[in-house]
Amino acid sequence: MTQARPLSLITGASAGIGAAFAHALATRGHDLVLTARRTDRLDALAQELSHQHGIHATAITCDLADPDGAEQLCATLAARGLHVDWLINNAGYGVPGRFDQNDWQVHADFLRVLVTAPTELAWRLIGGMRERRYGRIVNVASLAGHVPGTAGHTLYAASKAYMIKFSQSLALENQHLGVHACALCPGFTRSEFHDVTGTRPLVSKMPDFMWQDASAVVQEGIEAVERGDAVHVTGRFNRAVKGLFKLMPDRLALKVSAKQSKRYRAHE
């Protein structure tokens, strides 16, 4: 695999927002490295995009819950002589239920996938971007990182708030070298996320105007990181929600969040 085109590394690429990023960047002429735990889906997507767009897409199975996962992934890329121009830190999931109801290993794996691994991947890859004076890092965060935490899925909002602040600092440190970092913050997105967390029966009751398709989220994300935005909340409704909570006193915001979260969070 020789690198004649921009190369995008997408984590959690087998479905949802990750797969939508793969389609969108392949359309822009990027070669792709797709990673996730589901090899069959990755291979099928890589073959489909290579055939449709005349690019080179390769699948690398990787479990970012493994403490050595990010390092091994980057070592594989280096061994193939590949440098990453776009890093899409998308891999993620939710852990439903009350914090103490899950084993610590469940939480430890979650933190590796949603916090440690994306941070490590950025650290391992940004040096090359700075040297080449070009790079794009999209950290898929969430509207949840902008509003008060809720009961259930206890670490989810916290992890997304971290990614927002991390992206802001990365952007400030590197924008003068042509390296842009952006925290992409969608709200409810049509994907498998809620099926995996078991909250599909709850969220299916949410009105249609609160939802976005993954492709729309990705389009906004690409445009935002290209502009140099450090943070981008997708969709007018989600931006309105963020603005509303920002205006509320903390105590009121927490009460509102607690009441509304019962519509989409499983916490018992």
| Catalytic residue IDs | 156
Compute the distance between CA of residue 243 and CA of residue 260 in angstroms, rounded to an integer. Answer: 16
Angle at CA of residue 262, ends 138 and 210, nearest 5°:
50
**Residue 139 belongs to what H/E stretch?**
strand 135-140
DSSP annotation of 190 reads E
Residues contacting residue 123 through CB under 8 Å, at least 6 positions apart: none
* 23-38 CB burial, b ≥16 within 10 A, e <16: bbbbeeebbbbbbbbe
Q: What are 110's two structure tokens?
A: 């979650």
What DSSP state is assigned to residue 72?
H
Question: How far from the centroid of its chain's Cα atoms is residue 90's Cα?
Answer: 3
Dist. CA 155–CA 114, nearest whole Å: 10
